[in-house]
Amino acid sequence: MASESRRPPVVGLLALQGDFAEHAVALAAHGLPTREVRRSADLAGLGGLVLPGGESTTMLRLLDVEGLWGPLGAALRSGMPVFATCAGLILLAQRVESPAQRSYGLLPVTVVRNGYGRQYHSGTFALESAVLPRGTSGTFIRAPRITHVGPGCEVLARRGSDPVLVRAGPVLGACFHPELQERHPVVAMFAADVCAHGSAQPAEAG
Ligand code: GLN
């Protein structure tokens, strides 16, 4: 055999609360191994990070309880690909409303929590996008609504006129849950980011 083959990068899943298990299944379909992140030691050597959907207020509380707020922030800012869905997107937004709460501020957007109404308004809706295949839809569950997009943030898909998939550098944020639909193209987009980032890194010794 010529050169040793690279192992695929490991993607960390913030696993304090929410639908991180569904993200593991969705990424496995793209050949990417995952690791549940509950303590700062779990952040070592990752090639990507997922902030799942769930309840952002509970996640904030658990990040403090586990002493993870600071270490996770450093990992999020390290330049590795990050994929944030729903509550995860709320944690990364620059500004959170209804009610206001603390956030990492890595995505230059304003979000209104539960901005499409509560459970009653949850469901699967068509997306309009120049970068996703025609007919792609998104599953929204008590989703945040993006009401403002700042400079440096690209809108990749909309639901009606609302931005619902955004990118700022290595951070991809979705108001919906691509991980709940089989082989969703947005999961493929993140998996491609992780692989591209991984192959740009120096090969691991040993
Ligand atoms: N409504 C939740 C919040 O405000 C997000 C819902 C979700 O992640 N599906 O944190």
pLDDT tens, residue by residue, 144-186: 999 999 999 999 999 999 999 999 999 999 999 999 999 999 9
Distance, CA 58 to ligand 1 centroid (Å)?
10
Atom 1 of ligand 1, nearest CA residue: 142
The pLDDT of residue 205: 46
Decide if 44 contacts 37 (C-beta within 8 A).
Answer: no
Model pLDDT for residues 97-127, shown as the tens digit of each residue: 999 999 999 999 999 999 998 666 789 999 9
The pLDDT of residue 206: 40
The pLDDT of residue 1: 43
List C-alpha distances in Å: 144 to 4, 64, 92, 115, 196. 44, 22, 12, 5, 29
Query: Containing domain of residue 130, as a range?
Result: 2-200
Contacts 24+ apart (CB under 8 A), 93-96: 93/144, 93/173, 94/150, 95/148, 96/56
Q: Is 22 part of any domain? A: yes
Task: Report the number of distinct structural domains present in the chain.
Answer: 1
The pLDDT of residue 2: 43
Q: Is 31 part of any domain? A: yes
Q: Is 11 part of any domain? A: yes
DSSP string, 24-85: HHHHHTTT--EEEE-SGGGGTT-SEEEE-SS-HHHHHHHHHHTT-HHHHHHHHTTT--EEEE
Query: 86 an active-site residue?
Result: yes
Distance, CA 85 to ligand 1 centroid (Å)?
9
The percent of residues in the chain predicted with pLDDT above 90, rounded, is 90
Name the catalytic one among 22, 23, 86, 153: 86
The pLDDT of residue 201: 77
Which of 22, 86, 101, 125 to mutate to test ligand 1, by most ligand atoms within 8 A of the CB atom?
Answer: 86
What's the mean per-residue pLDDT of the chain? 94
Q: Is 206 part of any domain? A: no
Model pLDDT for residues 132-147, shown as the tens digit of each residue: 999 999 999 999 999 9
Q: Is 205 part of any domain? A: no
Q: Is 36 part of any domain? A: yes
Query: 121 an active-site residue?
Result: no
Q: Is 41 part of any domain? A: yes
CATH assignment of the domain containing 80 = 3.40.50.880
Q: Is 15 part of any domain? A: yes
